[in-house]
Amino acid sequence: MIASFTLPSPTGMSVPFDTDFLTDMRRDLLRFARLQLRDDALAEDVVQEALAGALAGGREFAGRSALKTWVFAILRNKIVDAIRERSRSINVSALSVEEEAMDETFDSLFKPNAHWQPDEAPAAWGDPEAALGQEQFWAVFEACLEHLPANTARVFMMREFLEFDTDEVCTELAISTSNCHVILHRARTGLRRCLERSWFANGGASC
């Protein structure tokens, strides 16, 4: 059904969005939604809504990338709505076993005086910018994001991917500012450690 959509171009010519393009786009949208919502059925729903919203508006697109940018913009709003909705029924501040384990791991990096253990002090990552150009790095990056506990991930992604101010994140999720800072710190230190172990400690992928 989606595959049969054609959209008018600014010149009035019809630009066909073929099955492959739409299938690929839908897959990308789903991956992004799943990463943040951690709920396959909900992710399917928001992606469907975003696609329907983009195609129903009677808006004209200059081409594929314009359509995709627009759909992603709609999707981000739909994800925010879904997170907002969900935050009414779950307690984002409640610590899961995974989150407690992350805190214990982080604490274990320090001596009793709260300075780094000699073996655990963060080492230089060489030229991390180079990693940004490597396909395999992004696979590791996504795997590390998936590895974060759900609530920690949700707060972090609202801040970093949906680019909310920290105050807005706290308000939307009904958590205190200080707790928001604690959760973001947990997410960042967890991601840092995951990237270090999975990528930078090995000097990156050989290619």
Binding stretches for another protein (CB under 8 A): 24, 28, 32, 65, 68-69, 71-72, 110, 113-116, 121-125, 128-129, 132-135, 138, 141, 159-161, 163, 166, 180-181, 184-185, 188-189, 191-192, 195-196
The answer to whether 8 and 60 have CB atoms below 8 angstroms apart is yes
Using DSSP bridges, classify how beta strands 6-8 and 14-16 pair: parallel, antiparallel or unpaired.
Answer: antiparallel
Q: Which two tokens stand for residue 99?
A: 């989150």
> Taking the complex as a whole, how short is the minimal distance between the CB of residue 30 and another protein, in angstroms?
12
Give the orientation angle of helix 19-37 with respect to helix 135-147, to 10 degrees: 40
Give the orientation angle of helix 166-173 with respect to helix 177-198, to 10 degrees: 110
> Taking the complex as a whole, how short is the minimal distance between the CB of residue 88 and another protein, in angstroms?
24
> Taking the complex as a whole, how short is the minimal distance between the CB of residue 183 and another protein, in angstroms?
10
N- to C-terminal Cα distance for the chain?
40
Provide the β-strand partners of residue 16.
6
The answer to whether 137 and 195 have CB atoms below 8 angstroms apart is no
Closer residue to another protein in complex, CB, 42/169? 169
Closer residue to another protein in complex, CB, 24/146? 24
Closer residue to another protein in complex, CB, 42/158? 158
Closer residue to another protein in complex, CB, 60/196? 196
> Taking the complex as a whole, how short is the minimal distance between the CB of residue 136 and another protein, in angstroms?
11
Closer residue to another protein in complex, CB, 8/128? 128
The answer to whether 136 and 207 have CB atoms below 8 angstroms apart is yes
> Taking the complex as a whole, how short is the minimal distance between the CB of residue 57 and another protein, in angstroms?
17
